[in-house]
Amino acid sequence: MISEKEIISYILNNSQKIKINSNEIKKNDVFLALKGTKFHGNKFIDSSFKNGAKYCITEKIPKSKKNINKILIVNNIDNFLKIISATKRKLFKGKVIGITGSAGKTTLKETLYFFLKKKFKTSVSIKSYNNILGVTISILNMDLSSKFAIFELGTNNFGEIRNLVKLVKPSQVFITNIQSTHLENFKTKEKISKEKSDIFKFKYNPNAEILFLFNTNIYEKIIFKIAKIQRLKKIISFGSSSSQNFVKKIIKKNNFYEIELFINEKIVKINTKENAIHRLHNLLFVLAFFKENKININIIKNNYQKLKPVVGRGKIHNLKIKKVTLKLIDESYNANPETMKQSIEYFSSLETNNINKIIIIGNMNELGLNSLKYHYEVLKFIEKFTFYKVILCGEIFKSAIKKIANPKNKFIYKQNSKKLLYYVNNQIHNNAIIMIKCSNATEVNMFAKKLISKNSGRSKI
């Protein structure tokens, strides 16, 4: 049987080896056989070795004795991983970046990584690995020779950020925004502000030196006040005033936009096909980070047009359904009232050469007692604009429609992903551009995955 010492040495001296999905195993990876809600990972140990696993770690003695000499059995797999991750974090000498916020964490993480890796070896947490297990695995997968390591830190309950930040110990931290998310547990956005502030508090993260903070609403200003009394070297804020970093001007020039950004009291101009203000905020963050770390911003200017959206967060797909050509803007990964309204407004502003615009939206999860109110407000917001069709799915939207007496837009309600798919496949007879927006793990989210997998042609930015 493999010894703890041998497997710890292997993890510390290698990167991107830890996997929890046996289907993702490649040669010389380490498979973690975790206990899931439906199955124990032990069920997939044999398949992980078939796929090339070098070792497996589990708490439960496997029934099959095949490859038993490559399997490490521990009393508590979570504690075992935390101990190794603490050692690996201590060994890492590069700059560590922590990103939190109500929305946009993964997109900012991937945007920053896209540009940093052009010049520096950079480690990054994969997918949306932002809870205790995900962050622990991300630390274990770090390359110790990296110049930068980027981690996404998420929370849906009190005390989670402080636990994550104790593992990661970032010196530079980002808070993207404070919005209406996870209100089921937090109840108020003020409490979300205080939870997110733990990322830089000396008590939990004495390494914190620089805070990059979007500072426009009263809840973000709460964070700014908390930050002022902490031992931070610098607070770099973003918003709309001349004392902050902000998007100054968007100028349309033929088939692209010239974006003027105010960064560190200087104007920076970048050409892009993107004009969604809520996505340009990520550009602000990254430019400010490059400036602060004395990295040439031409890396961003020269490569911004090559940046591709993260799956489910604005990626555009060209679909062919029967003889109808559809362009799909996929925003199906997540949604809250603020991001829903931002996406709707942006979609309305798109120039489509008279091609019909269709919105398909689904439930926004974890909004607590005021969930119906938030969904109703989204429908009222949609009434400010004109769309060819507005298709809704989800029980909360079904209830919200009843509160609107004479809707300006014709709201079409579909009960589930199957009925949505049937409607789009059979009732849209003209070329159209569709935007899908919803929370993860909803019927609309499932519909988006099915629609794209069955009909997708070439995806594009």
Burial 205-220 (b: 16+ CB within 10 A, else e): beebbbbbbbbbeebb
Domain covering 82-306, topology? UDP-N-acetylmuramoyl-L-alanine:D-glutamate ligase (3.40.1190)
Q: Residue 460: pLDDT band by 50, 70, 90 thresholds? A: very low
Number of neighbours of residue 256 by Cβ within 10 angstroms: 14
Domain covering 315-460, topology? Protein-Tyrosine Phosphatase; Chain A (3.90.190)
Nearest alpha-carbon partner for 444 in 407, 405, 410, 396: 396
Nearest alpha-carbon partner for 150 in 123, 111, 174: 123
Are the C-beta atoms of 138 and 86 separated by less than 8 Å?
Answer: no
All residues at 6 or more sequence positions from 159 whose CB lies less than 8 Å from its CB, including other chains: 195
DSSP string, 112-123: HHHHHTTTS-EE
Res 461: pLDDT: 36
pLDDT tens-digit series, residues 85-104: 999 999 999 999 999 999 99
Res 243: pLDDT: 65
In the predicted model, is pLDDT for residue 58 greater than 60? Answer: yes
**Higher model confidence: residue 408 or residue 72?**
72
The segment with the largest mean pLDDT, out of 249-253, 281-285, 351-355, is 281-285
Average pLDDT over residues 413-428: 92
In the predicted model, is pLDDT for residue 364 greater than 70? Answer: yes
According to DSSP, the β-strands at 356-362 and 432-437 are: parallel
pLDDT tens-digit series, residues 211-262: 999 988 999 999 999 999 998 999 999 987 766 788 888 887 776 788 888 8
pLDDT tens-digit series, residues 89-146: 999 999 999 999 999 999 999 999 999 999 999 999 988 899 999 999 999 999 999 9
pLDDT tens-digit series, residues 5-29: 999 999 999 999 999 999 999 999 9
Average pLDDT over residues 399-417: 86
The CATH superfamily assigned to 4-75 is MurE/MurF, N-terminal domain (3.40.1390.10)
**Higher model confidence: residue 191 or residue 37?**
191
Strands (E), 273-418: 315-321, 324-331, 356-362, 389-393, 411-414
What value does the mean pLDDT of the chain take?
92
**Higher model confidence: residue 324 or residue 370?**
370
Average pLDDT over residues 406-418: 84
Q: How far apart are alpha carbons 46 and 23 in whole angstroms?
A: 11
In the predicted model, is pLDDT for residue 457 greater than 80? Answer: no
**Domain locations in the chain as residue ranges:** 4-75, 82-306, 315-460
All residues at 6 or more sequence positions from 25 whose CB lies less than 8 Å from its CB, including other chains: 19, 31, 47, 48, 51, 52, 53
User: Rounded to whole angstroms, what are the CA distances from 31 to 49, 58, 89?
Assistant: 9, 9, 21
